[in-house]
Each structure stands twice: as structure tokens, then as C-alpha cells.
């Protein structure tokens, strides 16, 4: 991407913290204009102040009806059509399958599958018309393998990987690529919430719970957000990478 032209307009959902914030920082440092979208306006402004380049903040809930139109309409009005989209907004939830409520199920699908779908649907036509665009969806290793107690999250992430692959096939040769990155446990607030859930469910200490998650990566530690951001940049830079789901977990899921 940077070799082609700097100053691209890049939209990052979930850009106020975690992987989204790391991706935004990487893109801004590379010379691109960055749009940060997330629910927490205060957190968005804090993240925006850390970026070295031009930034536009759009506080909204990506699961709300009409949110994608609001987001991309705002970007187009202020800067022009989005050229890069990174869907990093997401969250997990833990429950036994038999205790997964309809509300939990629907919330996981809304955030982790429907919101990316709506963003792709809104962002792709201008990219295709321009003959250039890059989309990366932050999925998870849960998009590739199942695990206990996260049925709704796993189903949503498997679904979003299917969305990525179908979109990539549909857009092949258009100059627009669609890929996914599939991290393991990353040192982010989302993992902090997972640690808290483990503590509440098992009685382990926070250190014990965090160490157990770290051991799930063969490298013996949590993945750093900057490591995921580096893979996102690779997917943005290469036209030959399309329809791919790159795992970033230290070698646990080999595919």
C-alpha cells in the first residue's frame, strides 16, 4: 500500500484500543489518513492524540442499524471515499453451549459478523469503482478451530471468515483485496476480560489465568497488538494476497 501511494484514507473500526489502536498507529506512522470509529468517544479522542498524522474520529456503535452508512458518509463528506478498511471492532463472550442465551448469541453475531458485513457492503462499491482498495477483517483463531465455552463467538468468527473468502472471490481482479488476520490471545483489554471470566469461573488467580492463556501460544506468551498490526500492513501492501486468513498465534494453529 505505501509503495503505491501514501496518504490513503484508512477506516479502522474498534480503533480506540487493542488491535485497532495498534493498526491505526501503524498506518498513521506510514503516512496515511486514519479514521477511528468506536463507541467510546473519550477513548477515541485519547487514541487520536497518539497518532502522528491526520485523524478523524467517528464515535458510533457499529452494530446499530445505519451505522455503516453514517460512518462512511461522514468519511466521504470530510475526506473522500475510504480506500482501506480494517474491521477490528469485536468482543468475545464465554458460556457453555447449553447456557448460551439468544441474547448472547445475537449480540456476538451482530458485532463479529453482521457489523463487518455491513461495513464491507458500504465500503466496497467506491473501492471497486476506483480500481483499488484493501479490506482486512480481524477474525481470530476461533475462525478456524472450535473451543469450549465460546460457541457464539466461534460461530461468528467462522462466519466472518466465510464472508472474507466470498468477497475476495467476487472482487478478484478488480484491484480490491479482502483478507483476514486470525490472532490467538493478544495482550489487549479483550484478553483482560477473558482473564476476569476465568477467575470468576474457576477461582484461579489473575496471574494463573493469564499464564494459562499465554501457554496456549507455542511461543509461551501473549501476542502483542503491534505484531498483529504488522500482518495487517502486509495484507494491505500485497495485491497477490487475497482471500487469505493469516494466523498470528505463535504456531498453535498451522494452516
pLDDT tens digits, 86-99 = 999 999 998 999 99
What CATH class is the domain 9-184+224-248? alpha beta
Lowest mean pLDDT among 31-35, 111-115, 191-195: 191-195
User: Active-site residue 153, yes or no?
Assistant: yes
pLDDT tens digits, 114-162 = 999 999 999 999 999 999 999 999 999 999 999 999 999 999 999 999 9
Would you place residue 26 in the very low, low, confident or very high pLDDT band (cuts 50, 70, 90)? very high
Q: What is the 3-state secondary structure (H, E, C) of the chain?
A: CCCCCCCCEEEEECCCCHHHHHHHHHHHHCCCEEEEEECCHHHHHHHHHCCCCCEEEEECCCCCCCHHHHHHHHHHHHCCCCCEEEECCCCCCCECHHHCCHHHHHHHHHHHHHHHHHHHHHHHHHHHHHCCEEEEEECCHHHCCCCCCEHHHHHHHHHHHHHHHHHHHHHCCCCEEEEEEEECCECCHHHHHHHHHHHHHHCCCHHHHHHHHHHCCCCCCCECHHHHHHHHHHHHHCCCCCCCEEEECCCCCCC
The one catalytic residue among 153, 155, 167, 178 = 153
Would you place residue 4 in the very low, low, confident or very high pLDDT band (cuts 50, 70, 90)? low
pLDDT tens digits, 107-118 = 999 999 999 999
- What integer is the mean pLDDT of 38-56? 96
pLDDT over threshold 70, residue 250: yes
Range(s) within the chain of domains with CATH label 3.40.50.720: 9-184+224-248
Amino acid at each position: 500500500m505505501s509503495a503505491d501511494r501514501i496518504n490513503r484514507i484508512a477506516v479502522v473500526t474498534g480503533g480506540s484500543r487493542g488491535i485497532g489502536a495498534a493498526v491505526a498507529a501503524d498506518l498513521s506512522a506510514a503516512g496515511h489518513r486514519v479514521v477511528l470509529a468506536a463507541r467510546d468517544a473519550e477513548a477515541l479522542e485519547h487514541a487520536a492524540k497518539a497518532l502522528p498524522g491526520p485523524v478523524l474520529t467517528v464515535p458510533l456503535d457499529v452494530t446499530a442499524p445505519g451505522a455503516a452508512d453514517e460512518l462512511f458518509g461522514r468519511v466521504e463528506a470530510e475526506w473522500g471515499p475510504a480506500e482501506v478498511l480494517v474491521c477490528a471492532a469485536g468482543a468475545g463472550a464465554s458460556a457453555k453451549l447449553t447456557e448460551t442465551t439468544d441474547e448472547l448469541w445475537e449480540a456476538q453475531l451482530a458485532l463479529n459478523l453482521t457489523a463487518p458485513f455491513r461495513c464491507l457492503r458500504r465500503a466496497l462499491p467506491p473501492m471497486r469503482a476506483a480500481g483499488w482498495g484493501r479490506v482486512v477483517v480481524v477474525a481470530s483463531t476461533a475462525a478456524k478451530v472450535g473451543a469450549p465455552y465460546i460457541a457464539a463467538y466461534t460461530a461468528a468468527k467462522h462466519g466472518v471468515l466465510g464472508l472474507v473468502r466470498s468477497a475476495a472471490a467476487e472482487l478478484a481482479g478488480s484491484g480490491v483485496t479482502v483478507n483476514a488476520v486470525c490472532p490467538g490471545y493478544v495482550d489487549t483489554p479483550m484478553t483482560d476480560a477473558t482473564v476476569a471470566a476465568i477467575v470468576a469461573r474457576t477461582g484461579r488467580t489473575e496471574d494463573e489465568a493469564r499464564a494459562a492463556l499465554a501457554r496456549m501460544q507455542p511461543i509461551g506468551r501473549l501476542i502483542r497488538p503491534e505484531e498483529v498490526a504488522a500482518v495487517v500492513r502486509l495484507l494491505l501492501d500485497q495485491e497477490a494476497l487475497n482471500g487469505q486468513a493469516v494466523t498470528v498465534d505463535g504456531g498453535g494453529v498451522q494452516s
